[in-house]
Amino acid sequence: MTGEAGAGAWGSALSAQEFAAVEDAGFDPVGQVLGTTVHHLGYTGNRCAYMWSSGEDTSVSSTRWAPFSELVQAMYQARRRALDRAVEECRALGGDGVVGVRLRTGPFPAGGTEFTAVGTAVRARSRTRPVRPFTTHLGGQDFSRLAGNGWVPTGLAFGISIATRHDDLGTRRQSGRFAGNREVLGYTELVTHARRDARAQLAARAAANGGDGVVLDTVDLRVRAQDCGRGYVDHVAEAVFAGTSVARFGRSARHTGPRPLTIMRLEREH
């Protein structure tokens, strides 16, 4: 949706229940917003991980000489660009934030990858305006619960990591035909490194957004094999964490949830 606030009928990606919940929280929907970008992700790390090794079996994208570090930075940039364009539409509509943001990635017919951010811009019934509109994946009901308990979203945050591990004699023995039922330590190390690094990146970006914590949305892990020639194989794990960074705006210690149940002994006394 384009145009200025109040320039005709507005659209929304909210359900009727979400619409009502947003209004109960003191916000009015002002229009659906969309941001998109198509990126050509050229380098996919087609070099053997063993050639990049610095003494460790697993190479993680956040390390200095990791083969996928530039690709990961491009993935961050594409998501931020799509999100920034949705925020600009929100600002043009006079909104203070975007709720129910859905980020989608997919192949573009002419080549490349399309990144899209879709959500609903909302405006607070308040004289205080944020410097920059906030963004959150939370829908209407969850957004209302968050605000009602003294928390405010500060922005979407991502953690992206690509880890690679060169198959060695150990992984071949542990995953071979006659290995039996056993843990493949190299593969465990691979996915653990990828998830741990993505989680650390998510926490760092949430803090940069001014958040005290993160409400997690999605955790995605994809693993693929990559032939690096001469009979050698790398395994590549791509971990993407996404969520909303949140900060407390009310310091009240009042308890708003259900009271604790009284626990009674059920066995008979002798």
Query: How far is Cα 248 from Cα 259, in angstroms, rounded to an integer?
Result: 22
Condensed to tens digits (0 to 9), the pLDDT of residues 58-67 reads 777 776 566 7
CA 257 to the chain's CA centroid: 28
Whether 254 is in a domain gets the answer: no
pLDDT digits (tens, 9 = 90+) for 111-166: 899 999 999 999 998 877 778 899 999 999 999 999 889 999 999 999 999 998 88
Q: Which of 239, 160, 236, 233 is nearest to 203 (CA)?
A: 160
What's the pLDDT band for 254 if we cut at 50, 70, 90?
very low
Give the position of tokens 């998501």.
79
pLDDT at residue 1 tops 50: no
Tokens 């500060």, residue located: 154
Rounded mean pLDDT, 227-253: 82
Taking CA atoms, 206 is separated from 116, 153, 164, 183, 209, in Å, by 21, 10, 25, 34, 5
How much is the pLDDT for 175? Answer: 76
| Residue-wise pLDDT tens digits, 11-49 | 777 888 888 899 998 999 999 999 999 998 865 555 665
pLDDT in tens, 178-213: 777 878 888 899 999 999 999 999 999 999 999 999
Residue 73 CB partners (closer than 8 Å, separation 6+): none
Cα Rg for the chain, rounded, in angstroms? 23
Predicted pLDDT at 136: 96
Question: How many domains is the chain built from?
Answer: 1
Q: Looking at the domain assignment, is residue 192 inside a domain?
A: yes
Is 90 among the domain residues?
A: yes
Residue 5 lies in a domain: no
Cα 21 to Cα 160: distance, rounded to the nearest angstrom:
32
> Is residue 71 over pLDDT 70?
yes
0.85 cut: is pTM over it? no
Residue 83 has pLDDT above 60, yes or no: yes
- List the CATH number of the domain containing 88: 3.30.110.70
Distance between CA atoms of 55 and 62, rounded to whole angstroms?
Answer: 16
211: containing domain:
16-246
